[in-house]
Amino acid sequence: MTSPRPLTFSRNVFLPLTTVCRNRCDYCCFRTPVQEGCIMPPGEVLRTLECGASLGCTEALFTFGEKPELEPGFTGRMQGAGYPDILHYCHAMCSAAIDLGILPHTNAGILSREEMAFLKEVNASMGLMLETTALVPAHRRSPGKDPGVRIRMIEEAGQLRIPFTTGILVGIGETMGDREESLSLIRDLHRRYGHIQEVIVQNFCPKEGTPMAGAPVPETDEFCVTISMARDILPDDVAVQIAPNLADARELVPCGVDDLGGISPLTIDYVNPEHPWPQIESLVSIAGKRGLRERLCIYPQYIEEGWYPPRIEALIRRLEQQIRERSL
- CB neighbour class for 220 (10 Å; exposed up to 12, middle 13-18, buried from 19): middle
Residue ranges making up the domain that contains 236: 7-327
Global pTM value: 0.96
Residue 43 resides in a domain: yes
Categorize the per-residue pLDDT at 280 as very low, low, confident or very high, splitting at 50, 70 and 90: confident
Q: Where are the beta strands (DSSP E) in the chain?
A: 7-18, 59-64, 103-107, 125-127, 164-170, 196-203, 239-241, 259-263, 292-294
2 assigned to some structural domain: no
User: Per the domain annotation, does 1 fall within a domain?
Assistant: no
273 domain-assigned: yes
Q: What pLDDT, in 10s, does the model give residues 32-74?
A: 999 988 999 999 999 999 999 999 999 999 999 999 999 999 9
Give the span between the Cα atoms of 125 and 159, in whole angstroms.
14
Q: Name the domain count of the chain.
A: 1
CATH number of the domain that 172 lies in?
3.20.20.70
If we measure between CA atoms, which residue out of 190, 198, 194 comes closest to residue 305?
194
Is residue 87 in a domain? Answer: yes
Buried b (16+ CB within 10 A) or exposed e, 287-296: beebebebbb
Residue 311 forms part of a structural domain: yes
Within a domain: residue 271? yes
CB neighbour list of residue 290: distance below 8 Å, 6 or more residues apart: 3, 4, 5, 6, 7, 253
46 within domain boundaries: yes
At 281 the pLDDT is: 86
Percentage of the chain beyond pLDDT 90 is 96
For 67-107, how does the pLDDT look when each residue is reduced to its tens digit (9 = 90+)? 999 999 999 999 999 999 999 999 999 999 999 999 999 99
Mean pLDDT of the region 251-264: 96
